[in-house]
Amino acid sequence: MDPKLKYILLKTVQDDGILPITSVCNMACQFCSHRNNPPGLDVHRLGHLDLELIEELLQYLDPEGPVIIGESATRIIEGDPLAHPEFFQIIELVRESFPLKGIRITTNGSFLDRERVDFLAGRRPVELNISLNCSSPEERVFLMADRRPEQVFTALELLAERELVFHGSIVAMPHLMGWESLGRTIELLNGYGAKSIRIFLPGFTRYSSARMQFPVEEMYGRIAEFIEGYKGLDTPVLLEPPAINDLQAVVKGIIPGSPAARSNLKKGALITAVNGERPLSRVDAFQRILVSANPLLQYEQEGVGGEPVRGELVLEKEAGERSGLILDYDLDPAVMDQLTRAFLQNRDKRIALLTSVAAEGIMGAFLDYYRHSLKHLYNPLQQDSVQGNCVRQSRLSPDRQSACRIEGAGQRGGTGQAEGPQEAAGREGCIDLLVAENRFFGGSIIAAGLLTVSDIMDRLRESSQSYDLLLLPGIIFDNFGNDLSGRNYREIEEEAGVTVEII
Ligand code: SF4
């Protein structure tokens, strides 16, 4: 195997807890991201990995946390794990190395027959994510080119019969399948006892055919509205990607039968403290609750008459056990910490923090938080003399730059107007939030993980400012600093004359 690919595999296992075992998939879904990608992407297609290599990879798995099989690992094309001819042996290898580790498998379900369901039921804790997408064998043939279209529906019965925990996912294609199909698929998953149902807005690129494209915001709104009609189901129905613009630990859903389902907490509750401490973000709240035994939660939620009530409860669970609270993924506290350090160590610098369209609201919320809390927290003795770090937010072009949003000592900001270069030169430093569009992929793509060096260069060229330091999301680059098109971040440093730090 190519040493570079092997290194990527090892890092994927070690850093993400994802065990790639194959890129082979027996389907040809109309919405599959691999069909409409720009040419020349620096991604890796594996055959079926051999057992010897898988055994070696397992040594790099963190003893804590679950092993994830069949999920997309950024640069490695995911296939269907059950298509691997040695699937049974692979699961046995995992169990030999980690007798109690959670195993999470994502599959399209077409190989999930009684033998495999029974096998997995005997190797618990096992959790499955079934990419169902539609409600009948005929629809599976049309949408996914499924050649065993009955099997996944039999599998749902088997999973319910063996009480094997599973979640369902649906790539919503109402423009092709009709809204009734989406509703029937949700009801089907709910009826078989899925623990959650994730509805994904399909992505399309500028290479996708016209029939795969749709007005994104309108479709998102219509799906969100449609899903509202299913909020009374036992199974939480969740829309992805979430539309969030803050770091508030709001409960998006509660998994039936979980510790949280046995508590007073409801969907929509705001968790204000975990063991007496205010969570910095949803991710922070989730992690704090996960690691705690019987965490003490303070919360606010709607009371019986619709009025807001505050409460406190002990969530009875073991340390490491999942609570069953579903919270959207916003910002990891480790990233917040890295950003804060970068800001404070470079207070005399002109900093550009680049983000994706999807993460604009979250990063804006973090900068507000930094402005109000962190800067002073990290500089308790200098509270009155902190200079620099004027936070601004600018998106697509200089004339759309929004106002300066921080007023620190020594700042000239706060006028409600974007500053020009001469004004800026009088400051000790600033932070601009630059939002970059995914032009390389185009279409409906707005994710940081699919930004490229060319998108970043475009954004810098459109800014009227020059910067000393450019902070970039780490998810853009692989372990060698290359983006999905194979270009290295150092090109940005050379062309734009800016120091790049990858967060
Ligand atoms: S099951 Fe997943 S990997 Fe296979 S074709 Fe469909 S979307 Fe692509």
Nearest atom of ligand 1 to the alpha carbon of 27: 5
State which of 77, 143, 144, 170 you would mutate to test the pocket of ligand 1, scoring each by most atoms of that ligand within 8 A of its C-beta: 144
Can you tell me the distance from the alpha carbon of 366 to that of 368, in angstroms, rounded to the nearest whole number?
5
Residue 138 in domain: yes
Give me the amino acid identity at 443: G
* Beta-bridge partner residues of 390: 430
Residues ≥6 apart with Cβ < 8 Å to 228: none
- Mean pLDDT for the stretch of residues 91-116: 97
In whole angstroms, what separates CA 473 from the centre of its chain? Answer: 13
Q: Decide which of 400 and 25 is more confident.
A: 25
Is 98 in contact with 126 (CB distance < 8 Å)? no
Is the minimum distance from the CB of 132 to ligand 1 under 6 angstroms? Answer: no
116 Cα–ligand 1 center, Å: 20
Of all protein residues, the one whose alpha carbon is nearest to atom 7 of ligand 1 is 32
pLDDT at 130 over 90: yes
Give the number of residues written for the chain. Answer: 503
Domain count for the chain: 3
> Rounded to the nearest 5°, which phi and psi values hold at 414?
80, 15
State which of 32, 36, 198 you would mutate to test the pocket of ligand 1, scoring each by most atoms of that ligand within 8 A of its C-beta: 32
Which of 326, 356, 379 is the C-terminal boundary of a domain?
326
Instruction: State whether 337 and 320 are in the same domain.
Output: no
Instruction: State whether 363 and 462 are in the same domain.
Output: yes
CATH code of the domain in which 155 resides: 3.20.20.70
- DSSP symbol at 132: -
Is the minimum distance from the CB of 108 to ligand 1 under 6 angstroms? Answer: yes
pLDDT at 284 over 50: yes
- Mean pLDDT for the stretch of residues 168-177: 95
Residue 426's pLDDT is what?
46
Which of 326, 353, 382 is the C-terminal boundary of a domain?
326
Range of the domain at 104: 3-240
Instruction: State whether 314 and 337 are in the same domain.
Output: no
- Mean pLDDT for the stretch of residues 435-450: 95
Instruction: State whether 208 and 266 are in the same domain.
Output: no
- Mean pLDDT for the stretch of residues 402-424: 35
Residue 464's pLDDT is what?
82
pLDDT tens-digit readout, 461-495: 999 889 999 999 999 999 899 999 999 999 999 99
131 Cα–ligand 1 center, Å: 9
pLDDT tens-digit readout, 323-336: 999 999 999 999 99
Is the minimum distance from the CB of 134 to ligand 1 under 6 angstroms? Answer: no
Note the helical H segments in 28-86. 51-58
- Range in 90-104, 203-217, 249-263 the model is least confident about: 203-217
Beta pairing class for 469-472 and 499-502 = parallel
> Rounded to the nearest 5°, which phi and psi values hold at 171?
-85, 110
pLDDT confidence band for 375 (50 / 70 / 90): low
Instruction: State whether 273 and 197 are in the same domain.
Output: no
pLDDT tens-digit readout, 8-65: 999 999 999 999 999 999 999 999 888 888 888 888 888 999 999 999 999 999 998 8
149 Cα–ligand 1 center, Å: 14
Average pLDDT over the chain, rounded to an integer? 89
Percent of the chain with pLDDT over 70: 89
27 Cα–ligand 1 center, Å: 6
DSSP 303-371: -TTS-EEEEEEE----TT----EE------HHHHHHHHHHHHHTTTSEEEEEEESTTHHHHHHHHHHII
Instruction: State whether 285 and 340 are in the same domain.
Output: no
Most confident of the following: 13-17, 86-90, 206-210, 382-386: 86-90
Instruction: State whether 280 and 393 are in the same domain.
Output: no
Most confident of the following: 96-105, 201-210, 365-374, 378-387: 96-105
Note the helical H segments in 59-215. 87-97, 114-121, 137-144, 151-162, 174-177, 179-191
30 Cα–ligand 1 center, Å: 9
pLDDT at 378 over 70: no
- Range in 83-97, 275-289, 291-305, 364-378 the model is least confident about: 364-378
Of all protein residues, the one whose alpha carbon is nearest to atom 8 of ligand 1 is 32
Nearest atom of ligand 1 to the alpha carbon of 144: 6
Of all protein residues, the one whose alpha carbon is nearest to atom 2 of ligand 1 is 32
pLDDT tens-digit readout, 287-297: 999 999 999 99
- Mean pLDDT for the stretch of residues 194-219: 93
Can you tell me the distance from the alpha carbon of 163 to that of 42, in angstroms, rounded to the nearest whole number?
41
